[in-house]
Structure 1
């Protein structure tokens, strides 16, 4: 039996919107599978029961939780994006940071040519790097 490890992103109703946004921003990305809750539940009809996406070649699982939790995303766990050009890092950092929160603005910090750390409008934390 093959075992794999993949990040899992749990949203409260915005899973499809968030992942479609990430696919549009991160080169080499696509939604691989999208299963929805039906009218019989247990979650609200049409919400994401389980999805799989490739974000820059990395498999990420995602869903909409129908159970309310006392937590959401934290910046202490982030997705790390390695960009290939100045234009790409500027576009990715601006897109993911739009309507979110900039934790470290795009700049030179000594460990790479350019780097940014943002929490996007869905609360997911991203470190964006140009080596």
Structure 2
């Protein structure tokens, strides 16, 4: 295997838009950036401006792929699968947690749970993030 890249399918019919997620996720980390974005073609059934496929870098070379689904699915995002982030320090952890929490839900508020500073948040798109601090920075 060369790499594994998480793929997030958003549902515009539920108010989840890949373009909004791209803007948020690339702003979270200093070196976040959009690498590519392809719109759905006319006639696909997707709303105007919907993203067929995008790839972003969210920091330290870590990538995510995102897409707006042109159809509504019965499923939604599950907190049973999370994106784990080793933050550089507690300041970054607090900043990222606060940004993800806007319109989202704190699954576990930022605190020291005995294994170091930790927080778990489900963002406004339904994506679950677990935020720790890299062990060498605790």
User: Could you say whether these structures have the same fold, taking a TM-score greater than 0.5 normalized by the shorter chain as the test?
Assistant: yes
Which residue of structure 2 aligns with residue 106 of structure 1? 110
CA contact (8 A) 2:34 2:55 kept: yes
CA contact (8 A) 1:102 1:118 kept: yes
User: Which is further off, 84-93 or 42-51?
Assistant: 42-51
Which residue of structure 1 aligns with residue 67 of structure 2? 63
Question: How far 1:87 moved relative to its partner?
Answer: 1.4
Residues of 1 paired with 2:65 and 2:45: CA distance?
19
Q: Deviations over 1:73-129 (max 9, x none)?
A: 1001011111112211111111111211100000001112x1100000111000011
Question: How far 1:20 moved relative to its partner?
Answer: 1.1
Which residue of structure 2 aligns with residue 37 of structure 1? 40
Question: How far 1:28 moved relative to its partner?
Answer: 2.0
Q: Matched residue pairs, number? A: 129
SS in structure 2 of the partner of residue 51 of structure 1: strand
Point out where structure 1 has 5 or more consecutive residues left out of the alignment: none
Calculate the TM-score normalised by the size of structure 2.
Answer: 0.86
Q: Does 1:5 align with 2:9?
A: no
Residues of 2 paired with 1:128 and 1:119: CA distance?
11
CA contact (8 A) 2:120 2:130 kept: yes
CA contact (8 A) 1:38 1:44 kept: no
Which residue of structure 2 aligns with residue 120 of structure 1? 123
Q: Deviations over 1:18-47 (max 9, x none)?
A: 121011113321110000013232533321
SS in structure 2 of the partner of residue 24 of structure 1: helix
